[in-house]
Structure 1
Amino acid sequence: MNNILITGAASGIGAATARLFHQHGWQVGLLDINHQALAKLAGELGNVWHAELDVTDPAAVKVALADFCALHGGQLRLLFNSAGILQCGNFEDIELSEHARIQQINVLGLLNMTHATFPYLKATPDAQVINMGSASGLYGVPHMASYSASKFAVRGLTEALELEWAKHGIRVGDLMPPFVSTPMLNNQRFQAPVLGRLGVNLGPERVAEAAWAQARQHKVHRPISLQFKLLYWFGQITPAWLTRRIMAWLSRE
C-alpha cells in the first residue's frame, strides 16, 4: 500500500495534496503546527493519521516519523515537504527575526524532515521525496528576498540529493509553481509589484495535481503552469543579464 507523509498539511497546497492522494487510495499522514485545522482535515478524510508538529524541532520530527512509519512496516513511499512561510516587503522593513524564521521553517525544517526519513525511504521500493520549490528559486525576487533565498536552498538540496540518493533507489524532486492562491500569500499585508504584473493564477489543487504527476513520473524540477514553464525554459537559454532585466521590470515599484 502506498503511503505519503505531508508537512504543512493543514491548509493550502498541503491540504489539497492530502485530499487528492487520499482519493487515489493512498495512506495519508498529516503534519502541521496548526493542530485545530489539522484535526479538522483528518476528520474530513476519515480520521487519518495526523500529528501536531513543528518541523524545526528535530527530536519531535523523529518521534512523528517513527509513529507514522510504524503503522506501515517501517516504510515510507513518499515524503512531501510542503511546510513553508512567506513574508513580502522591503528587506529592511522586515524584522531580522522574521527573516531567520523563514529560513528555519523553509530550509531547516525541510532538512530535519528529509534527514530523519532516510532510513524509512531506503527501506521502501520506489521511494520519493517531493520538495516544495518555487518560481522564486529561479532568480531572486525583490520584496521576497528571504523566501527566494530559501527556495534557492531547496533547489540546491533537491539537485544534490537526487544524485546522491540514486544509489539507494530514492528519487528527489521539487515542484516549482509561480504564485499560488493560498492563505500564506493572500494574507500578506505588502503587495509585491511582481504579483500584480504576473498575477496569481494558480490554486492549490493545481499544485496537488503536479505532486500526483510527480509521484507517478519523476522529474528533478517540475515547473507548473504554462506561464512559468515558458519563463523557466527561457531562463535556461538566455544570458543572466537578460533574466535580471526582466525581473527588474516585473518588480518595479
Structure 2
Amino acid sequence: MSELGGLVAAVTGGASGIGLAAARLLAARGAYVAVLDVSKDVELDAFAGGAAGHLAVGCDVTDDASVVAAVAAVVGRFGRLDILVNNAGIGALGTVADNPDDEWSRVLDVNVVGIARMSRAALPHLRRSPAAAIVNMCSIAATAGLPQRALYSASKGAVLSLTRAMAADHVREGIRVNCVNPGTVDTPWVARLLPAADVPAAERAALAARQPTGRLVCPEEVAAAVAYLAGPLAGAVTGVDLAVDGGMNALRIRPVVAS
C-alpha cells in the first residue's frame, strides 16, 4: 500500500497553483482527495473528472456555512477525514499605508480566519483519525521583511503563530499541525503581478534573484513538503514551519563581484 493509502485529504484553494499540485501529489501517494475551492475553473473540473475516487467541492473559506457544508460533503462521500491542507489564500501589495481597512479585513479573513473556520469544522473528524494532520500554507513573508508586502506579511505572520498554537492545543488529541513557508513560487498569482510592472521581464528576474538558488520555487516543490508533513512518516513532526524558499530565509550568500 502506498504511503497515504486509505487516508482522506481535503485541500482548500486546490483549483490551481500550489493547491492543485498538492492535491495531485497526495492523490499520487494514495490518498482520496477532495479539492475545495471557490473557483469553478477548468483545472478543478479536470482533477475531479479525471481522477477516479476523488471529489471537487465548492467552498468559500470566508463563509462558515460554506465551510461546514464542504466538510460535510467530504465526510459524506468518504466517511472520514484525515488530512486538512489549509492552502486557500490571497495576496496583497503595498506598505502599511496603502491598503484601506476593508482590504485589511478581507485579506485577514481569507488568510487567517479562513484557516480557523476550516480547522474548526474538520476537528471533530480529525479527532477520530489514526493519522490526523493539518498543514497550513504560510510564507517566507512570515519570517523575512519583504518590501511592499505589509498586509500580506501580517497575515502570514499570524498563520505561523496560529500553526504553533494549534499544534500545542491538539498534540494530545493525536492531531499534528505544521506549516510550509514557500519563497516566491511560480504560480498564477505571480503571473498576474508581472504585467503591472514597468518591465515585466526585469521584475520576474528580480523575483527569481532574491532566492539564493536564483530561480522561482516550483509548485510541485511546495507540494512535496505538504505531502511529507501530511503523511505518517512525519509522525514525530508537529509545530514546525518548513521552508521551501531556495535558501531565502536562512542563507546569506556573498554577492558576485565583477572582476
TM over 0.5: yes
Match for residue 124 of structure 1 among 115, 123, 129: 129
Matched residue type, 1:224: V
- CA shift at 1:197, angstroms? 4.7
* CA distance, structure 1, for counterparts of residue 137 and residue 9 of structure 2: 14
Q: Which stretch of structure 1 is more off in the superposition, 40-49 or 142-151?
A: 40-49
**Alignment partner of 1:181 is 2:192:** no
- CA shift at 1:48, angstroms? 2.4
1:137-165, Cα deviation, whole Å (9 max, x unpaired): 11342211111011111111110111110
Aligned to 1:21: 26
Aligned to 2:154: 149
**Alignment partner of 1:50 is 2:65:** no
Matched residue type, 2:227: W
**Alignment partner of 1:198 is 2:204:** no
Structure 2 length as normaliser, TM-score?
A: 0.82
**Alignment partner of 1:66 is 2:100:** no
1:80-133, Cα deviation, whole Å (9 max, x unpaired): 000011022344334443332211110111111011111010011120000001
Contact 1:4 1:29 in 2 (8 A): yes
Contact 2:93 2:151 in 1 (8 A): no
- CA shift at 1:30, angstroms? 0.6
Matched residue type, 1:214: L
Aligned to 1:240: none
Secondary structure of the residue that 1:176 maps to in structure 2?
strand
Contact 1:140 1:149 in 2 (8 A): no
Could you say if the C-alpha distance between residues 161 and 93 of structure 1 is closer, same or farther in structure 2, counting changes exceeding 3 Å? closer
Could you say if the C-alpha distance between residues 6 and 194 of structure 1 is closer, same or farther in structure 2, counting changes exceeding 3 Å? same
* CA distance, structure 2, for counterparts of residue 101 and residue 82 of structure 1: 16
- Could you tell me the percent identity over the aligned residues? 34
Contact 2:143 2:249 in 1 (8 A): no
Aligned to 2:9: 4
* CA distance, structure 2, for counterparts of residue 51 and residue 105 of structure 1: 17
* CA distance, structure 1, for counterparts of residue 206 and residue 156 of structure 2: 17
**Alignment partner of 1:214 is 2:226:** no
Q: Which stretch of structure 1 is more off in the superposition, 207-216 or 191-200?
A: 191-200
Aligned to 1:41: 47
Give runs of ≥4 in structure 1 deviating > 6 Å: none
Matched residue type, 1:161: M
Aligned to 2:255: none
1:15-39, Cα deviation, whole Å (9 max, x unpaired): 0011111112210001111113322
- CA shift at 1:44, angstroms? 3.2
Could you say if the C-alpha distance between residues 138 and 193 of structure 1 is closer, same or farther in structure 2, counting changes exceeding 3 Å? farther
Secondary structure of the residue that 1:71 maps to in structure 2?
helix
- CA shift at 1:225, angstroms? 4.1
Matched residue type, 1:44: G
Could you say if the C-alpha distance between residues 109 and 193 of structure 1 is closer, same or farther in structure 2, counting changes exceeding 3 Å? farther
Q: Which has the higher helix share?
A: 1
Structure 1 length as normaliser, TM-score?
A: 0.84
Matched residue type, 1:119: P
Matched residue type, 1:56: T
Secondary structure of the residue that 2:167 maps to in structure 1?
helix
Contact 1:89 1:192 in 2 (8 A): no
Contact 2:82 2:131 in 1 (8 A): yes
Q: 1:94-173 to 2 correspondence within 5 Å? A: 94-173=99-178
Structure 2 segments unaligned to the other structure (5+ residues): 1-5, 198-202, 253-259
